[in-house]
Amino acid sequence: MPDMSSLNLGPFPDADGYDQALALDEADPLQTYRSRYVHTDPDLIYLDGNSLGRLPHTAIDTVEEVTQRQWGDRLIRSWNEGWWELQLELGDLLAPILGARPGEVIISDSTSVNLYKLAMAALTAQPGRSKIVTDDLNFPTDLYILQGIASQTGTELVIVKSDGINGPLEGLDSEIGPDTALVTLSHTVFKSGYTYDIGRITELAHQAGALMLWDCSHSVGALPIALVRSDVDLAIGCTYKYLNGGPGSPAFLYVRSDLQDRLDNPITAWWGHAEPFAFDLHFKPVEGIRRFHTGTMPILSLAAAEAGIRDVVDAGIDQIRAKSVALSEYLIDQIDSHLRPLGFDLASPLDSGDRGSHVSVAHEGAWPLARALIEVGRVIPDFRAPDNLRLGLSPLYNGFLEVHTAIQRLKTITQTRVYERFSNVKTAVT
């Protein structure tokens, strides 16, 4: 076993692809965005922006302003000076990134809660239909919420089986039928990064008369989403991943405008009331997207999410996608050259058109490799059981030389077998 302090963590100017990586960073039109985010350790390579995005400097200023002035000085007057409208305003700011129109998006609650609200609303609106269709690539919380809904409403939940990497298109096609009320899937799936063709699947649902709900947690801010053009009924997603909104920042929710007054929020809370300050004893829903509000929002977290959304709008989602594709193709090249010979396999689709902005590799030692990479290699990926290392590429702050260096460090850790020392380490969050 080598002395860990003597491990070479780069730079690696002699390694294959180094000059190319440098040149690609120099030609990158988004390279100036990197400095908009907080970097406290110049040696750390962060490849987990698909789980928790980096902190934008402007978010610090916003939180300072909201605490010191809006809360500290203005106190309750702030509700009428911007807080009351903040969910809608930030929703409208985010709407173009989703291909949605003003008044179709709000930032509200968590993704789990928003899924509950919209899936229940969709089922209740179609009493003659008794089936929900999803797949086994969906994020576990989505499946748990759907299981709960199925048992509360007596609906059948069908989880279509995949090969573990690609969307099971044929299985979905054969399960979606005249008894289907709702089809709900992750747009980009959390493990392999497989990305559905939203238009194609939405059409499949609509041909059967079902409603379609997309969870865009792993795609929003990384690739263009055309919700209105694809005639999508409902969508939800996180703001703390590629939108860099902060830990636990409120999620978004989209309901196409013509559906808003036909669907009822199952959580009939006062922010969704037609006249919340009449303090009437009976619930009467407001018209429009506001009916999907629940109760008082965590204003500090909500306000903090604005900076990250603004950066994505400012950089342009097409430009972000172009860089994401270039970075991930470069990463896959590096995996092929340096990691495949060491027992790693690609666990993501090869074709960029079928992939979001993270790439997974499978290795039987993935867990100790992830720990060693973090502790010794100063690279943060994440681990997804049983054998996946997930490498998230956040185009606003990740670069080509970072990817190159991360792969060289992973290669060193694997070749020297340093990772075997981390086999028995356990953590609560992976």
Contact positions toward ligand PLP, by CB under 6 A? 110-112, 139, 141-142, 186, 190, 215, 217-218, 238, 251
Q: Among this protein's residues, is 290 annotated catalytic?
A: no
Q: Which is nearer to ligand PLP, 192 or 414 (CB)?
A: 192
The least distance separating ligand PLP from the CB of residue 384, rounded to whole angstroms, comes to 11
The token pair that represents 84 in the structure block: 């009351």
Contact between 410 and 337 under an 8 Å Cβ cutoff? The reply is no
Q: Give yes or no: 215 in active site.
A: yes
Question: Active site residue: 36, 310, 384, 390, which one?
Answer: 390
Residues 6+ apart with CB under 8 A from 176: 133, 183, 204, 205, 208, 210
Report d(CA 196, CA 214) in Å as an integer. 10
C-beta closer to ligand PLP: residue 185 or 307:
185
Between 250 and 377, CB nearer to ligand PLP: 250
Give least dist CB 122 to ligand PLP, A: 17
Identify which of residues 114 and 408 has a Cβ nearer to ligand PLP in the complex: 114
Task: Please identify which of the residues 139, 330, 344, 383 carries the catalytic annotation.
Answer: 139
Which is the catalytic residue, given 135, 215, 233, 354? 215
Given the complex with ligand PLP, which of 190 and 194 has the nearer CB atom? 190
Minimum Å distance from CB 261 to ligand PLP? Answer: 26
Q: Looking at 54, 129, 191, 241, which residue is catalytic? A: 241
CA 21 to the chain's CA centroid? 26
Is-catalytic flag, 241? yes
Distances (CA, A) of 145 to 39, 156, 180, 210, 417: 36, 13, 18, 19, 41
The amino acid that residue 392 corresponds to is G
Report the run of H or E that residue 375 belongs to, with start and end. helix 366-375
* Residue 351, SS3 per DSSP: coil
CB of 89 to ligand PLP, least distance (A): 21
Quote the least distance from Cβ 190 to ligand PLP, whole Å: 5
The single residue of 12, 33, 190, 240 carrying the catalytic annotation is 240
CA–CA gap between residue 299 and residue 281 (Å, rounded): 26
The shares of helix, strand and coil residues in the chain, as percent rounded to the nearest 5, are 45, 15, 40
**Residues tagged active-site:** 139, 215, 240-241, 390
